Structure 1
Amino acid sequence: MCFISLVILKTIIFKINKHISDNKLFANSQLTEVGLVTMLQKLRQRVEFNTLDQQMIFKNRDGVPSDPNIWNRYDFYFNILINQ
């Protein structure tokens, strides 16, 4: 299980870095394993969708430092992964 998780993590990082370098989006900026995990740890809010009553449940994580650009980075990386 750990090996599969590592392969998936490496694949995600490879796809993001390849897109960034192919499109020359950032100069000398490569996403690393630590950077991706740190970004995911900084997400403060999680949304769950209850299929029984069709409601969205917002859950906040306490004790996580605030980063105003975290959702912009998350959306940027997410769009790269979804659109490729």
Structure 2
Amino acid sequence: MKADLHPEYRYVIFNDLASGEKVLTRTTANSEKTMEWEDGNTYPVIDVEISAASHPFYTGKQRIMDTAGRVERFNARFKGFGGKK
């Protein structure tokens, strides 16, 4: 394997800004911002807007859209469109 070809694989804290949950994992991404973890070591921090901890699909707070009403409105709106004259 060639030397200095692959980026460094390091521990990083991903901070979910929406829920405040933090996850320590490994990645090649880096950040200048750092934070002390529960083990007493300091790691780079990457802030994310949304993660599985705050995403509506994974938290069960997803809204279900009324698709039947939307289809009926579409059909009523385009009734007779493209038909033979």
**TM-score interval, normalised by the smaller of the two chains:** under 0.3
- TM-score, normalising length from structure 1? 0.21
Higher relative contact order (CA 8 A, sep 6+): 1
Which has the greater radius of gyration? 2
| Structure with higher helix content | 1
| Structure with higher strand content | 2
